[in-house]
Amino acid sequence: MDLKNSDFIYNIKKLAFNIKGVEMNKQIKNFLVGMIAVLLLSSCHFMQKKAEFSNLGSSKRGLASLFNSVLFVNIPAGSFEMGDFNKKVPVEITRTFQMMETEVTQKQWSSVMRYNPSYFNKPEYCDNYDWFGTLEGKVEMCPDNPVENVSYSEVQEFISKINENTGELCSSKELRRKNSGCLRLPTEAEWEYSVRANTHPYIDYFFGNDPLLLNTYAVYSKNSKQSQKVRSKKKNPWGLYDMYGNVWEYVQDTWSESLPGGTDPLFIREHFYGYVIRGGSYYSLNESLKSSSRFMAYPEGKSKYIGFRLVRTL
């Protein structure tokens, strides 16, 4: 936006000029002119902050370039045993895919959706607080913290927006899973396969069974009372951060007590209670952070404990 051509700023300048020509007490006049100057500077700053985000989310090309710059990790095809000690099912992943190395951040979400639903979006929750302006007002964020407090349907809306540049190629969940280049949520099997990273199937975590080591790899209840910046802990053997803790992560599957096994499994039920979430959060205890741990989120529920990350079909 051209700040010089803004009607709002033009009218403030005009008001200041008119006040200068009015006969009144000099001190009062100087005070009014000073207040108008402060208002003018604040308006310019607000519009400049808005301009920082004007090219992101304003076009299909802008959305495409936003996620082209995001770091994805190649996850090779392979097989593994899914589940915990009591119940495991064999799974085969037949197709290499890419997974975001971090959870989707507040900045990434806000750049696309033009609002930030996150609970942890105020200056007291991070050391790099930022904001930008929209026609609706001020959008605050902790830009490197994961976005949270989003429903499953809002996540799907976000995914639809960032796939817009592909046209019909990635226009549905089914096509996104089939066609190369589409961004989507991982399946539950893809998520567990990625967190395990080809480690032994009978260990609780990718680093072994010692929960004391979680402090090195996870933002969780013993070291935090809120979400933290992504990449604040060590990554797993395949280069993925925050697979344990920070925020729970949505996957594609609808909830079932039984695990989806077989070849490239995906469990979708027409009438269901909720969606599967994985990984635990900053509020979770050790048990909820295990590679096999799973929980359910209600279809339209929102929580400051739940976010997501994306995968790209290859």
Whether 116 contacts 146, CB under 8 Å: no
Q: Are residues 290 and 172 in the same domain?
A: yes
The tens digit of pLDDT for each residue in 30-57 reads: 665 556 555 554 455 444 554 454 444 4
> What's the domain range around 15?
3-52
Read off the tokens for 234: 């060590």
Whether 149 contacts 120, CB under 8 Å: no
Distance between start and end Cα atoms, the chain: 38
The tens digit of pLDDT for each residue in 261-314 reads: 999 999 998 878 899 999 999 999 999 999 999 999 998 899 999 999 999 999
Q: Are residues 155 and 278 in the same domain?
A: yes
pTM: 0.83
The tens digit of pLDDT for each residue in 167-176 reads: 889 999 999 9
Whether 258 contacts 86, CB under 8 Å: no
Cα–Cα separations (whole angstroms), residue 132 to 41, 43, 107: 15, 12, 10
**pLDDT > 70: percent of the chain:** 79
Q: Are residues 33 and 100 in the same domain?
A: no
CATH number of 69's domain? 3.90.1580.10
Kindly report the average pLDDT of the chain as a whole number: 86
Quote the number of domains for the chain: 2
Which of 92-101, 185-194, 294-303 has the lowest average pLDDT?
294-303
